[in-house]
A and B are shown apart, each in its own frame.
Chain A
Amino acid sequence: MASVAFVLIAALAVGSALGLVLKRNAIHGALFLVVNLASVAALYLMLGAEFLAAAQVIVYAGAIMVLFVFAIMVLIPGKEETGPDPRRPWRLVAVPVGALLGVQLLVVVRALRGGAPAGAQPVPGSVEALARLLFTQYLFPFELTSVLLLAAMVGVLLLARRRT
C-alpha cells in the first residue's frame, strides 16, 4: 500500500519537475513547480517528518510560489524571454554538471543499498518534538526572533509606505 502511494507521488514529483523545465510558458512552469513542491511535501509526510511537510507547503508551495507568480505577472515576459535563447551554447555546460550529479546519485544509492548507515536513528520530526525543543533548549533564540520579526515589520512599513 505504502509503496504504491510512494510510486504514485514520486511519479507526480518527477513528472511535474519535467513539466517545469519543458514548458515555455512561465506561468505554466510555476504551476508545475507548485505540484512538484506539494508532492515532495507528501513524501516528507510519508517519512514521518510532519513539520517539514507543513513548512514545505506553507513556505515553498505557499509564500514563495505566490512571490514567483507575482514576479512573473508583473514582469510580463517580452520578446527576449520567449524568443530564441541567446545563450544557447551555454547549455552544453549542463552535460558535465548533470553527469557529476548523476555520479553523486549513484554513489549515494550504492552506499544506502545495504540499509540505513549504522548509528543513524530516526529523528522525531513531529510538531510536538520540535515544539518541545523550541520552548525549552532554544527558548532564547526563539524569543529573539520575535524582536527580529518586529524589526523586519517596521522596516517593511518604512520602505513600502507611500507617505507619512
Chain B
Amino acid sequence: MPTPDIVRALLLELGLAALLLLVFAANLGLRGADRRVVGWIATGGVLVLGFTSFLVAPAPAALGGMFVQDGLAIFAKRLFLGATLIGLLASLGEPEVAFARRAGEYHLLLLSSLLGMLVLASARDVILLFVAFELMSIPLYVLAGFLKRRDEAVEAALKFFLVGSVSSAVMAYGLSFVYGAARSTDLAKVAQAAASGQPLVTLGLLAAFAGFAFKIAAFPFHMWVPDTYEAASTPFVAWLSVAPKAAGFVALFRVYFEGAGERAAAWIPVAAGLATLTIVAGNLMALPQQNTKRLLAYSGIAHIGYMLVGFAAASASGVAMVLFYLVAYVFGNMGAFLVVEAVARTEGSESTAALRGLAQRSPLLALAMLLFLLSLGGVPFVAGFWAKLYVFWAAATVGLYWLVLLGAVLTVVALFYYLLVAKRMYIEPPERTGRVRLSPTLAAAVLLCVAGVLVLGVYPKPLVMAALRVAAPLF
C-alpha cells in the first residue's frame, strides 16, 4: 500500500499524536504557572483538528482492513473533537492550583484518551478495538484522581479504576471466546461467524456486552458514576459524561450491528432489558439528590438508558437516532455541568442550594441552565426533545411499544427533578447578592453549548439526515 493512503486515512490520529508530542515538549520547557500555556496549545490543536475533520472524506479500509474511515467514524470523530474542545475551553480558567502546576500532565492524559476514542471509532478489529478502549479508559482513571489532595477524589479514582479494570477483563474474556470460535480478529469475520449461529461467538459477545455496559454506565454497572462525577474536577466530568459514552456506543454499533444484517435483531431483548433497568433506576435515583453533580450523574445514567432504547431498535434509523441523541446530550449535559462549575467557582458549593435565586443574580447564566435542563428533560424546541422523540420513534417502528411507553412515563419523572432545579433558580430567593463571575473561556464554552442546544432544537433536520446517512451502511 502506498504511504500517502495511510497518512490520509490516519490524518486525524497522526495530527493528534503530533499534538500530544507538542504538549509534552511544551511542558518540558515551561515552569510553574506558565504551564497554563499548554492548555491553550491543546485547545488550539483540537480546534484545528476539528476543522480538519471536515476535510476528511470516507476512505476504503486501511491497515489490512482493521482501520476503517467510514461515515460513522467521521461523524463520531467530529463529535469527540467538539466535546473535547468544549471541555478544554472550560478547564482553561480553572482556578485550582493543580491545574496550573500539572497542566502538562492533565492535557497529555486527556488528549491520549481522545486518541483512544478516535481510533476506537475506526477500529474494525478486535485487538485494535481493545487497545483503543484501554487507551481511552486508562487516562480517565488518572484524571478522575487528578485532584489528589482531596481524599474523595482518590477514592473516586480508585473505584473507577477497579470497576473499569474488571469491565475490561470481562470484555477481554468475552472477546477471547469470540476469537476462539470465529478464528479471526477481524470484525467482519466475527459478524459472519455470529450470523452462522455459533454459540461460543454469541456467548463471547454477550460477555463483551457486559464490559461495554460498564463503560457506558448502564444500570447494574453504574456504581462508579456518582462518586467519580462528584469528586473529580467539573470541566473534566462534563467531558467524561459525554465523550467516552459516545465512544462506547460507536464501538457497540461496530461490534454488534456492522455486518450482522438480520441477526442484529438477536440483541433486541438484551438491549431492551438493559434500557428498561437503566431508565428506571437512573431516573428514580436522581430524584432525592441534593448535589447538582450527583443529580446530573444519575440523570446521565437515565440518558444512557434512552440511548439504549434507540440501540434496542437494532435498525439503521435506531443507530442514527442514538447518534443524534449523543450530539444533543453533548451540548445539554456538558452545558449543565459547566454552569455548575461557574456557580461553584463563585460560591464554592455544588449543591442545588447554591443555585438559589440565580435568575436574579445572573439572569443570562440562569437562562442558559434552564435551556440545558429543558433539553435534558425533553421539552419541545430544544435539542433533547427531538432526541427523545426520535429514539422513541425508532423503537416504535420495530414494535417496542412497551419500552416507548415506559420511557415516556419516566420522562415525566425526569422533568420533575430538572424543574426542581429550575425552581431553585427562578422562584427561591438568592442567599447572596452579586453576579456569578464567569471566566471568558468558560463563558465561551457555555455559549457553544447554548448554541448547540438551540440550533438543534429549532432546526434538527440536517443533523438527522447526516446521522441517517452514516448509519445506513451498517445494515
Contact = CB atoms under 8 A, between A and B. Distances in A.
A152 B138 contact: yes
Interface in B90-138: 101-102, 105, 108-109, 112-113, 115-116, 119, 125, 127-128, 131-132, 134-135, 138
Interface stretch (A91-99, A102-110, A143-151): A143-151
B119 A159 contact: no
Contact residue range for chain B?
20 to 34
Interface stretch (B72-80, B141-149, B215-223, B335-343): B141-149
A137 B128 CA distance: 11
A138 interface: yes
Interface stretch (B59-67, B194-202, B456-464): B59-67
A149 to B, nearest CB: 10
Contacts, number: 62
B444 interface: no
Interface string A116-160: 000000000000000000000111110011011011101101110
- Tell me the interface secondary structure of chain B in the complex: helix
A137 B64 contact: yes
A144 B132 contact: yes
B128 A151 contact: no
Nearest to A155: B142
Contacts of B17: 147
Given A141-B128, A159-B145, A164-B102, A151 B135 contact: yes
B135 A147 contact: yes
B354 interface: no
Contact residue range for chain A?
10 to 19
A158 B146 contact: yes
Given A147-B112, A151-B138, A164-B102, A140 B146 contact: no
B20 interface: yes
A125 B201 CA distance: 24
B139 interface: yes
Contacts of A164: 101-102
- Tell me the interface secondary structure of chain A in the complex: helix
A151 B127 contact: no
Interface string A11-50: 0000000000000000000000000000000000000000
A92 to B, nearest CB: 27
A147 B102 CA distance: 19
A159 B148 contact: yes
Contacts of B119: 144
Contacts of B134: 148
Nearest to A163: B101
Nearest to B141: A155
Contacts of A157: 105
A151 B112 contact: yes
A140 B66 contact: yes
Contacts of A145: 131
A140 B63 contact: yes
B131 A141 contact: yes
A151 B137 CA distance: 11
Contact of B138 (A144, A155, A158): A155
Contacts of B112: 147-148, 150-151
Contacts of A139: 63
Contact of A147 (B20, B101, B146): B20
B355 to A, nearest CB: 32
Nearest to B97: A164
A158 B66 CA distance: 33
A145 B64 CA distance: 18
Contacts of A147: 17, 20, 112, 115, 135
Contact of A158 (B67, B115, B116, B142): B142
Contacts of A150: 112
B64 A151 contact: no
B128 A158 contact: no
Looking at B63, B115, B135, B141, the one whose CB has the most chain A CB atoms below 10 A away is B135
Contacts of A138: 127
B64 A158 contact: no
B109 A155 contact: yes
A138 B123 CA distance: 12
B105 A154 contact: yes
B128 A154 contact: no
A154 B108 contact: yes
B105 to A, nearest CB: 5
Given A159-B142, A159-B148, A144 B105 contact: no
Nearest to A150: B112
A155 B113 CA distance: 12
14 contacts: A137-B64, A139-B63, A140-B66, A148-B131, A148-B134, A148-B135, A150-B112, A151-B109, A151-B113, A152-B138, A154-B105, A154-B108, A155-B139, A158-B148
Interface of B: 17, 20, 63-64, 66-67, 101-102, 105, 108-109, 112-113, 115-116, 119, 125, 127-128, 131-132, 134-135, 138-139, 141-142, 145-146, 148, 157
Interface of A: 137-141, 144-145, 147-148, 150-152, 154-155, 157-159, 164
Given A141-B127, A151-B109, A157-B105, 16 more contacts: A137-B64, A138-B127, A144-B131, A148-B112, A148-B135, A148-B138, A150-B112, A154-B108, A154-B109, A155-B109, A158-B102, A158-B109, A158-B142, A158-B148, A164-B101, A164-B102
